[in-house]
Amino acid sequence: MRVAFVGKGGAGKSVIAGTFARLLGASGERVLALDSDPMPGLAFSLGLDPATLGDAGIPDEATVPAPDGERPPYRLRPGLSGPDAVCRYAVQGPDGVRFLQLGKSRGHRGGSNRGHWAYQQILEDLPGDDWSVVGDLPGGTRQPFYGWGRFADVVVVVAEPTASSMLSARRLAGLARPGVEVVAVASKTRAAQDAATVAARAGLPLRGAVPYDPAVAAAERAGRAVLDTHPAADAVTAIRSLVDRLRAAEMCA
């Protein structure tokens, strides 16, 4: 399963992505959780302490320049495969989940960031039948389909039942490239009709609804994963159902 979670900032995608990844890991799957969002939400949602991670990305020394004129301009050094790079550089998290973040650049480095190219090559090189990949992508419209989200077979657009969040979801839905399934998950729902409203306004098939849950807010205030503070929370139950639905859809595809 290769899933990317996208949506307007604050919609709750990091909580959903991190919990989703851990539930997959707890079920016995080999999971790589990818953080290309510059904000540190996914690490918290996985139960990691971002302060201990440092620059937990791909170091420049893992890459070599490509021959003149070849693209991409950098590639993993000879002898270092995508799975090797995951084992070497990804951080081990709870439930066996491996965590790999795009290196946090300091200052302007533009497209010459060697780790960015290595990150992409790892995704292309990682065997799909051995690994599940769960990505937390930055807000905006470019990344889900033309940037870091290219690895995904399913793009989950997370949207709150607010006008701005649902409009963002609709714009994201219009960017889907052929062959990628794009679905909606309603987040922070409070009323019975909220999920249906999100699906209709986003113009996407609905795969789940995660209710507003004070347990999530409490975990976020503490800087911890809701799975660690409130494992039986309503939001966790809803995300578990989302895992089951996407798994079932994958098996029937």
Q: Are 141 and 6 in contact (CB under 8 A)?
A: no
pTM: 0.91
* Stretches in the chain below the pLDDT threshold 70: 37-40, 54-56, 103-112, 140-148, 253
Residue 208: partners with Cβ closer than 8 Å, 6 or more residues away: 185, 186, 238, 239, 241, 242, 245
Element (H, E) at 239: helix 234-252
118-155 pLDDT, tens digit each: 888 888 888 777 899 999 987 766 655 666 677 888 99
**pLDDT confidence of residue 56:** 61
Using CB atoms within 10 Å of the CB of residue 229, give its burial: 0 to 12 exposed, 13 to 18 middle, 19+ buried: middle
DSSP state of 109: -
User: Are β-strands 2-6 and 206-211 bridged in parallel, bridged antiparallel, or unpaired?
Assistant: unpaired
Does residue 109 form part of some domain?
A: no
**pLDDT confidence of residue 253:** 63
Element (H, E) at 241: helix 234-252
Q: How many domains does the chain have?
A: 1
Does residue 59 form part of some domain?
A: no
Does residue 21 form part of some domain?
A: yes
Q: For 187, phi and psi rounded to 5 degrees?
A: -120, 150
At 117 the three-state DSSP class reads: helix
Q: Integer distance in angstroms from the first to the last C-alpha of the chain?
A: 12
Dist CA 183 CA 124 (whole Å): 23
Domain membership of residue 182 as a residue range: 2-48+95-103+129-252
Residue 90: partners with Cβ closer than 8 Å, 6 or more residues away: 32, 56, 98, 99, 100
Does residue 233 form part of some domain?
A: yes
Q: E strands along 91-160, which residues?
A: 91-92, 98-101, 132-136, 154-159
CATH code of the domain in which 22 resides: 3.40.50.300
For 8-45, the DSSP string reads: STTSSHHHHHHHHHHHHHHTT--EEEEE-SSSSHHHHH
Does residue 69 form part of some domain?
A: no
Does residue 144 form part of some domain?
A: yes
Does residue 12 form part of some domain?
A: yes
**pLDDT confidence of residue 32:** 95
Dist CA 53 CA 31 (whole Å): 18
**Helices (H), ranges, 74-225:** 82-89, 114-125, 143-146, 163-173, 194-202, 214-222
